[in-house]
Every structure is written in structure tokens, then in C-alpha cells.
Structure 1
Amino acid sequence: MNETQNTQPTADAQSTVKSRAYRTIIAAPMAGGPSSPALVDAVATHGGLGFLAAGYKTPEAVDKELDDVAHRARQRGAEPFYGLNLFVPQPSPSGVDRDRAAAYRDELAKDYKRFGVTEPELNWTTDDHWEGKLAVIRRRLDQREQQGEGRSDVDSHAENFSVPDVLSFTFGLLPEELVDEFQSRGIEVWATVATTHAAQIAADRGVAAIVVQGPEAGGHRATTTPDEEPGSESLMSLVQAVSDLFANTDASTRPAIIGTGGIATPDQVREALRHGADAVATGTIFAATDEAGTNEPYKQALISATADDTVITRAYSGRPARGRRNAFIDVHPDAPSVYPAVNGLTSPIRKAATKKGETDCMSLWAGQSVEYARGGIAGSVVDLLLQGR
């Protein structure tokens, strides 16, 4: 295998759409551990685009991971090429939602007792350190621009300095002023959507790419509000519908379309491209690779799963998410759609279960492609999927 492949598309490819992701294999962002700097770098080494996942992390932790990715790339003589995903702030819960979350905490009492963990306080914070994470990006942009003007001690090519090439956003759509701010400063902005309606709004706001997520995807669905019920339209059908929105739009100005959800083979890559995708993203098969930060019980649960083992649930977070079915999901079928409060309520249970390796109470996010998650190195996954271009 060639370890020094060019990580960016050709100039001709870049000229066809606004995004540099044209026909690239993307390792989708996976919050909670899998999207490690090691995975991001391994994917880039083989010509793909990796993503760090800022969700649930502090700004300080995100800052450190940005340095780590830069260090890894420059150690192999390359410039960093990667994306960073953030969660859009959520609406404040209503009084009814707060009551529903409190009732769910009571329902979880047996789980707290089983693992010997303290019942958590209800937390109504909904922004996931939003302003702090944006501040990290803005500071790095300031440093890069000042260095370019000779006004900064920070070397933008220093071993541990980098600015993400892409910012993608999930759980909502970025306001147009923020899209303009980051893209005017050299960062592509991507929106993650699950409907054609959201795709049109994102396009109107000027994003460089639209990540179209089908119901086959593992992890959280890209609904724009916690209580929205996700649709069942297949990824290929949804990609085609979003592509049709821009049928009369000049290719140099339309957003790129990135299909994600259940993609794990070259044939599926080809099918997504035939339906109008410019690139594809996949997560589950990368989550099982050696470089992923996925904990070992989770990896083994992925590797041993079959296509019929996944279901959509709100049990762990209050938002709809696809994961490997287990006892916790079965026992809690009616979790309230109160995110991220429910996520906070189940956090001590999930952490204790992970520590003990008890997968019946772990959130084992996995897509319908899980039968193809067989471990190994991430580069082999990229090489395989690139055959579908």
C-alpha cells in the first residue's frame, strides 16, 4: 500500500463543486471516542478525509486534539487535512419536557443501583460548550492570519498547529452569518441533514457541502430538533432527491452532496455516486478499526454483529439513534425526547457498564452496515471504498 498518497482531490475535481471532498472517502465523525486523532490521520494517509468529533468534549480537549492531528500529519511530512464536527445548541426544554426527564430518571433507578452509581442531577444545559469551541476555532484562525501578515509568533506550519479544513454541524443548521464567517476565512462549512427540506435551507445559507444522512446510519439521526421523528426514506432515494434540488444549478456554485448511512462496500459507493452524491461518508466500519478510539467491548460488539442486530432508540440520549440492540434498549422503549438531559441521565450507567465490559447497558452505536465491520487497519477500509469511485 502507498503510505504517501495525495490526500486532496485534483484541481479538476475541485473545480466541479464548492467542496474539496469531491469523490473522497470520509470517515464520519463519531462522538464518544471512536473519532480519534489516530483514526483521522490514518484515513488521511490513504487519501480520505477524517473527522474529529467535538461533541461532549470540553473546548480544552478539542484544542488538544487539533494539535494532535497536526503533529501526526507533519511527522509523516504532510500538511493536516481533516474536519471537525460540532453539535448545534439545542432548544431549552419546556416544563413538560422537564417533568418527563425527571420521570425517566426515576425509571432508571434500578440501573443506577445495579452499577452502584449516584443518581445524577438533572442538567438543563443545552449548548455543549458551543461558544468555547467556536472560540478555539476563531483563535486559531486569528493566529494563522496574523502569522501570514507577520504579526504573530505562532507558525501556522509548526508541528502542532492546525486549523480544520472543514467544520460540519449536526442537530441543527448553522445561521448564515456563521457560515459566511468561517467560509470567508478559509474553512468549509458542511450541514448534516436528514430531509430535503433541511437540505434546501442549508443550501440557501451557502454551505459548501450537505451531508445527507439516511436511516441506515449508525448513531444519532441528523434531525434538527430532539422531538422530530426521523424519516424512513432510504439513503439512495434521499441522495437522489437532494441532488434533484440542484439539477438546474451550476456545478461550480452548488453545494457538494455527501451520502452517509450504511455504506461499507465499493458497490454501495458507486450506487451513491450514481444517485448524485459527490462523496460518501461512513462511520461504523471505521469504528471497529485498530486506530479508532472505540473501547474494546464496543469494538467486539460491532465485529460480532449482523445486519439485523440494529434498531433505532431514544433510550440513551433522548434523540433517535441507531445502535446494536441490547437489554437496556429493550427495557426502556419510551424514553422522552429531551436531549441532552436524557444523555446526562444515562451517562453514569454507560460509563460504569463500559468499565465492567457489560455491553447490555452500553450505547453501541452502529449502522446497518455493521456486518462489514471486521476490524483491521483504517487504511484498508479507505483503500477498499476508493475502488468504488
Structure 2
Amino acid sequence: MAYEVKGVVARSKGAPVTVETIIVPDPGPGEAVVDVQACGVCHTDLHYREGGINDEYPFLLGHEAAGVVAAVGEGVTNVAVGDFVILNWRAVCGECRACRKGQLQYCFNTHNATQKMTLADGTELSPALGIGAFVEKTLVHSGQCTKVDPAAPATAAGLLGCGVMAGVGAAMNTGAVQRGESVAVFGCGGVGDAAIAGAKLAGASTIIAVDIDDRKLEWARGMGATHTVNSRETDPVEAIKAHTGGFGVDVAIDAVGHPKVFEQAFYARDLAGRVVLVGVPTPDMQLTLPLIEVFGRGGAVKSSWYGDCLPSRDFPMLIDLYLQGRFDLDAFVSETIGIDDVETAFEKMHEGEVLRSVVVF
């Protein structure tokens, strides 16, 4: 029997989102239905609404979610009814060329549910990142469910589903920050602050936060930044070198996704340092760097996909660290809201007033 629930839909480019009746089918083979308890409002959802991902409207928005498994389909063994899970958009296939090389964090063929959720009139919905979680129940592939300790509140746990994991992973996985190293993070929104928290977890001794907003720089200090630089007032490259004996940092992380910011990150690193791009650029952006500088500085220039995470490995670990008091996920939750408040949350996010608004069901 299908479920009839309420969810947040983007019907057309730029139009305000609406709360509508969603039909969620019973799970088929390999699928699961999850009672969503909380879902963060991520900038990616706004990208979907604005047509920045694709034009497969209408979209069922929401993807940073945690909840409880309500039903499973035939053949599902990794989760059971009643399990507390975080939803992810990297349900590894185990068969693609990345998986065959043992690099599951780069899986090129991640699983989604086969069936479609629909509007009441039968119109098929495109779920954001294959999840669609601004809804009371959602249908996903069972591999998109990662079981974690239910002692963690859904408001905190769900944030690992996207932005926080992307930032933490950019530092710990892609950037491979080591104890005693120096790190600079450009852009102190949710992903950038998560990168700062990840660098702190990894044992970085110097963590430099860069932004144009003093309010965000104050948030960054709360996440573990040892120094802050307002790049509207100060040349960030020179400021970073001044904090690192004139050398630059071991790891520079661009959490903005803009050519000018990436160029600053590139020049702010030490010789043989690593540059990590985790901010998402727009398709029209172009980057020009002197090739001799790319060669002469050595090191590595890397893109970070979802923090190069493996949900089955990283989500439980980070939840354990949270429950031990070593990783403050609650600090990312600026406010909790209802399902009718998503449009207002987009406005607050655009204005930089919040790290994360979290929809609670």
C-alpha cells in the first residue's frame, strides 16, 4: 500500500517551493522507506530550485536527512525496520571501475531507488541527489541508508548526509591533514566550518579561516580556527604566510568554488602543499594559472567529491566522536523549522544568517 505524505516541491526554475501531497510507493527489491525525522536545508537544494543542477522538474527537495527505517523491500539485508539511519547519496555499486579498484569512495554508479515518488496526480518527481527528504517519508535504495547509533539526535546526525561530511572529508580524506600541519579554509559557511572542524579533529596545529564576513569568522573560531582573515580588508595570501613563518600552509581548502578564491588558495600553500576544491563552481567559471607555477610548487591539486567519504565507514565514526563530545555537530544547527518554512530558510541561507536550518518532522 502506498503512503500519502506531505513534502516540499520545486515545480519550476526560480519559483517559490510549495508543500504538496506526495505518494510514496511500498519499497521494491533493494529499496527502503524511511520515516524522515530531520533534514538540513543545504545550498544544493537551492541549486535544484534555481535550475543549477538540471531541469528535470518537479523536484522533491531535501537530502541531508536522518530517520528510522519504516519498511524494506525484498533482498534488503543491510538495514531493518526500526534502524536509525543517515541517508546518503553514495550508495556504492561494488561493480564499477572505481569499486573494482577498491576505491569505493569514488563509485561512479551509485544506487538510487528504482521506483518513483509522485505528486497526487501521478506526476513523477525527481528527488534531490536521489533522496528527496523534505518529506515525512521517502523512498530510497537501501544502500543509501547508513545505520548509526540512535543516541544521536536526528537534527545533528542528518547533517552528515551532505554539507558537514563534505567539509570534514575535504580536510581529513581529500586533504589528508596530519597532526601538527597548518591549514587554511577559504569560505566559512557550513562546508567551510566543517572543514575547519575536520582539520581540528585531524590534529592541525594552525587553522586559518578566511571570509569576507566577520560574523562567519567568529563562527569559524568556534569550530576550531586559530586565526581569522577578513579577505575584504586584507590580502589573504600575505596574511596566511604571515601566520606560517612566510611559507604558506600545508593544506589550503577552497570551500567557495570561485576562480579567484581558488587562485588565493593555490598561492597560499607551502611548497609541496595540497590544494583542495570542495566548493561547487558554476559551469561557466574558468581558471587560468601559470603552468610553471603548477609545476614549480609541487604538491597536489585535488577536487573533493562528497569529502571523498565512504558513508558506511565515516558516518558511524563521526557519530561516535559526536557522542564522545569530540565533534560538536549541534554547533552547525542554527535553527529548527517546520516543513512550511523552507522558502524562508533559503532566504536566510542566501543572506548568510545561518549555518544550517533544519526541518524537523
Q: TM-score, normalised by structure 2?
A: 0.29
Which structure has more helix as a fraction of its residues? 1
Flag the structure with more relative contact order, 1 or 2, with Cα contacts below 8 A and sequence separation at least 6: 1
Q: TM-score, normalised by structure 1?
A: 0.28
